Amino acid sequence: MLSILPRPKMARNEALWFWLFISPWIVGLILFRGGPILASLALSFTEYNVADPPSPVGFENYARLLRDDIFYKSLKVSGLYTLMAVPLGIVVSLLMAMLLNQKGVPFLGVFRTLYYIPALVAGSVAVALLFQWLLNPSFGIINFLISRFVGEEGLVPLGLSGPRWFFDPNWVVPSFVLMSLWGFGGSMLIYLAGLQGVPTALYEAARIDGAGAFRRFRNVTLPMISPVILFTFITGMIGSFQIFTPAYIVSGGVGGPAYASMFYVLYLYLNAFRRYRFGFASTQAWFLFIIILILTIIALRASRSAVYYESPGDDKMI
């Protein structure tokens, strides 16, 4: 393809440069990614508290994990949270992206910018403190609004004065879901980019065929952006299983009340960095890795028939 004469030497030269350029990544891979993955697997078969050398315990950590009640609770909390937060997040951000892609709406740029602001700080300490205040059962503005509109003294007297949110074990997970929904702007922008990639000719053809707005959504929009939905579904799922900061802040690092906010990674953190059970915590980390891997594979398999790719079998990514 290139010149004929010095080709082998040039190719070798180019390959050398390639290795030079990616060398920082290779070092990082060995020290901070690949290496730790193997080290963490090795640690999961030991008892280790950093101060003393690790002592091998075989499968003891795995056996203990399967007997651990709090482990099952944490799995349930994170699973329930993921089950609620991910689908709701997809629906909300897709709907908002479609509105922000609507022709003829004035100040679209301003709307897009303003809707994105919460996503800037989503998952941070400040937002956790903010939602604790908004959802405060006695003085919070949300319960004031609920009591004003539907509460005991409200316009619709349902005898409901608002849930106790972060203080009621049954409401803890939905409260965290609410907090995560507020940061929908990130996936909203991804959907917006996806929607703008749908050729307008497809909509026009559907319109000429007499398809209404709903059918255009079902038969054009949805199939065309289904790869994006799959992407946000998988990354959303992985992210939800790893939620830590809001749980740590809201529960003061203890996962209460009644373990209702003992998210998976919070329990992992407490075992590692509060109790110095690094071997046991590594077992938890590996278990999480396997859960995420299995869920991702299931999602990819299940989506095969539902996701539409424009050119089947091509290797766009690579």
Partner 1 sequence: MAEQTAAQPFAPVADRVPTRSLSIRGQERLMAGIATAILVLGLTVVLFPLFWMLSTSLKGEIEALKIPPNWIPKSFQWVNYRDALTHNPFGTYFRNTFYFAGMVVIGEVLSNSFIAYGFARLRAPGRNVLFIMVLATLMVPAEVTIIPTYVLFANLPGQWLNTYNPLIIPAWLGSAYLIFLLRQFYLGIPFEYDESARLEGASRFGIWWRIILPLSKPALGAVAIMSFIFHWNTFQGPLIYINDNAKFPVSLGLSMFRTPFGGTPQHWYMAASLAVIAPCIVVFFIAQRYFIQGIVVSGVKG
State the minimum distance, in angstroms, from the CB of residue 218 to partner 1: 11
Closest CA to 149 of 140, 141, 138, 157: 157
Rg (the chain; Cα; Å) = 25
> Applying CB under 8 A, which of residues 60, 62, 83, 118 lies at the interface with partner 1?
118
> 124 to 153, contacts with partner 1 by CB under 8 A?
124-127, 129-131, 133-134, 136, 139, 141, 144, 148
Q: Contact at 8 Å (CB) between 265 and 244?
A: yes
Q: Which amino acid is at 121?
A: V
Asked if 14 is part of the footprint of partner 1 (rule: CB under 8 A), the reply reads yes
Any idea of the CA torsion for 302, 287, 166, 134, to the nearest 10 degrees? -70
State the minimum distance, in angstroms, from the CB of residue 197 to partner 1: 6
b (16+ CB within 10 A) / e for 126-158? ebbeebbebbbbeebebbeebeeebbeebeeee
Pick 12 or 170: Cβ nearer partner 1: 12
Pick 129 or 306: Cβ nearer partner 1: 129
Asked if 96 is part of the footprint of partner 1 (rule: CB under 8 A), the reply reads yes
> 213 to 272, contacts with partner 1 by CB under 8 A?
213-214, 228, 238, 241-242, 244-245, 248-249, 265, 268-269, 272
- One DSSP character per residue, 219-287 reads IIIHHHHHHHHHHHHHHHHHHHHT--HHHHHHTTTS--STTTT--HHHHHHIIIIIT--HHHHHHHHHH
Closest CA to 99 of 86, 88, 112: 112
> 176 to 215, contacts with partner 1 by CB under 8 A?
182, 189-190, 193-194, 196-197, 207, 212-214
Asked if 294 is part of the footprint of partner 1 (rule: CB under 8 A), the reply reads no
> Applying CB under 8 A, which of residues 91, 114, 258, 294 lies at the interface with partner 1?
114
Site track 28-47 with partner 1 (rule: CB under 8 A), x = hit: xx-xxxxxxx-xx--x----
Q: Is 101 left (phi over 0), alpha (psi -120 to 50) or beta?
A: alpha
Pick 62 or 116: Cβ nearer partner 1: 116
Quote the CA–CA distance of 85 and 94 in Å, as a whole number.
Answer: 14
State the minimum distance, in angstroms, from the CB of residue 259 to partner 1: 19
> 56 to 95, contacts with partner 1 by CB under 8 A?
none
Among the residue ranges 18-26, 58-66, 75-83, 255-263, the one whose residues contact partner 1 (CB under 8 A): 18-26
